Amino acid sequence: MNRNNIIADVLLEHNEIIPVLNRFGIRLGVGDKTILELCDEHSLNPDFILAILNVYLDENYLPEASLSLFDAESIADYFQSTVESYIHELIPNIGKHLNAFIAISAPGNEELGMLNNLFVKFKDKMTEHLQNQTLFDDDFPYELLHDLKNILIRHLSKELNQNLLYAIIFSVHSFEKDLTIHNRLREKILRPKLNELDSTGIRHLHHAITGEHAQQHPAQHAHQLTNREEEILRLIVRGYLNKEIAEKLHISHNTVLTHRKNIISKTGIKTVSGLTFYAIRRGLISM
């Protein structure tokens, strides 16, 4: 794939990269624009986008030659956006399909109740792992997804709604595949980039991904948020990604990152759930 490819043609053949583009703030309705045109429109680095997409689509693709063309902060932002999309989009999507399946098939069915409990345990474990991992750790525990899919395929009654059952399996499979590719992206893009950095650069990248710098200045936690930071906080808890916030407020992506780091530093809170609680307590948003 290259920067002159029309993105709609690529998406027609590879639907699976739609959520990847969403993480960069690119939504459907792309017309006949090329990858380069879309990158210019969204102030994105086309070399970085192409590296992500090519690694995503081709397990044998090696982006080594292009690594020096994009900065470490772009990598950090992509991986952070990916984790956010897993927690707030892909995992809840599985839950929505499962709830619909149970509601229509047999709401009081004990077998389905046990299946729902299994999913809740999986969701809690995966969410905890995603929130706590630093992206330098081992692969995501996507074997949990394989087990869930295996139960759906092998161990449920044949009388249950097959169409909705397929919808759950498809959403599980999509997440499972995305996690596998995410691990590949980490090995082919994140780790090689780390090898280019000195110890200071590695600490900077690590802080950019984990938000650990928020713990280094506890005296700032009580500081008031500025009007702009409150505005950005409202968008964060409403589910907007960094790129989307930049577009909505007509500011640069780096400015959004700076404000987001300041919000974490001042509140001492890293997760969207925690920030939502903070925003409600402070009257910044309503229930």
Separation CA 210–CA 133 (nearest Å): 8
Separation CA 161–CA 78 (nearest Å): 37
Separation CA 41–CA 235 (nearest Å): 21
- Contact predicate 220/263, CB 8 Å: no
pLDDT of residue 286: 67
pLDDT of residue 193: 67
Provide the residue ranges of all domains of the chain, joining segments of one domain with +.
7-69, 72-196, 215-281
Side chain identity at 218, as an amino acid letter?
Answer: P
Q: What is the pLDDT along the chain (287 residues), one digit of tens a residue?
A: 888 999 999 999 998 889 888 888 888 999 999 999 998 988 888 888 888 898 888 888 877 666 666 666 777 778 778 888 888 888 999 999 999 888 887 767 777 887 888 888 888 888 887 776 544 445 565 666 777 787 888 777 788 888 888 999 999 888 888 888 888 887 777 777 666 655 555 555 555 555 543 344 343 334 688 888 999 999 998 889 999 999 999 998 888 998 998 888 888 777 777 787 678 767 787 65
- 85 CB contacts (<8 Å, ≥6 apart)? 19, 22, 23, 241
Q: Which residues of 66-96 are buried (b: 16+ CB within 10 A; e: fewer)?
A: ebeebebebbbbbbbbbbbbbbeebbebbbe
- 120 CB contacts (<8 Å, ≥6 apart)? none
pLDDT of residue 189: 76
CATH architecture of 215-281: Orthogonal Bundle (1.10)
Separation CA 263–CA 267 (nearest Å): 6
